[in-house]
Amino acid sequence: MRIIVMNPKGGVGKTTIATNLVSYYLGKGCKTALIDLDPQGSSTYWVRKRPIFKAPLQLIEPHNLKAGMTKVFQLTPERGTEVTVTDTPAGMDLVGNISQIRNNDVILIPVTPSVFDIQVITRFIADLLIKVKPNRSHTQVAVIANRCRENTQSFKKLRLFLEALNIPFIGIIKDAQFYVGASEEGLGFFDLGKVQKSLIKESYRWQAITQWLDVIKDRSYSVREVSPCEKEMV
């Protein structure tokens, strides 16, 4: 199962969603790799901060290749990897990264509810569908609302737009200080053993998101297998 988290805007929660999903899959015991395509390296920082007693994960850093090891070795998920989560930079060039983007089971787009962000995202989704042309029977495009207030007009318009394009809106993450503190310590929501009372509602929100992803995971190709979509591209 391969997930890529994308949004052309900065600061909308790409790294937050990517790292929290990694904490989910590690918590489930899945062998997981985090691919940090962002030269800023926020996900890399998160991995380095992660407590050593936590389940290990593979970090793939295309922007920080080490001497003395082949590029292919450093960029390839380890044998047996079940899940890769790719964090991307703001403003990532779509056309220049077509194969990297298509090579995923899920393109996850975090959206914040401001009217400006929603304008950007509607243009981005149109661009993504036209320029990258993901084969939607292999690569699902889905949206998550981050730091969300659901009752705004712009939010309602976004939902209508997504419905028209048949793009699932898979969940909502609230604005919670927990995310800021946890990311500093290399932790995610699923590292909290027993969810604190104040975060119980948030755990239900995550459940909706992870259940949707689990359905995709059940029918996805293993990370090192070539999907029919890639075969078509060869």
Residues near Mg ion (CB under 5 A) are 14-15, 42
Instruction: Give kind and range of the element (H or E) at residue 3.
Output: strand 2-5
Residue 162: partners with Cβ closer than 8 Å, 6 or more residues away: 125, 143, 168, 169
- Which one, 5 or 83, has the nearer CB to ligand ATP? 5
Binding at 171: pick from Mg ion, ligand ATP, none (beta carbon under 5-8 Å per type): none
Tell me whether residue 105 or residue 202 sits nearer to ligand ATP (CB atom): 202
CB closer to Mg ion, 44 vs 104: 44
CA nearest 88: which of 107, 74, 114?
Answer: 107
Instruction: Please tell me whether residue 141 adopts helix, strand or coil conformation.
Output: strand
Nearest-approach distance from CB 26 to ligand ATP, in angstroms:
18
Q: x/- site string to ligand ATP, residues 5 to 24, per CB under 6 A?
A: -----xxxxxxx--------
DSSP state of 210: H
Contact flags string 171-200 toward ligand ATP, x per CB under 6 A: --x-xx--xx--x-----------------
| Spatial separation of the C-alpha atoms in residues 204 and 114, rounded to whole Å | 24
* Closest alpha carbon to 20 in 37, 41, 38, 5: 5
Q: Applying CB under 6 A, which residues contact ligand ATP?
A: 10-16, 38, 40, 42, 90, 146-147, 173, 175-176, 179-180, 183
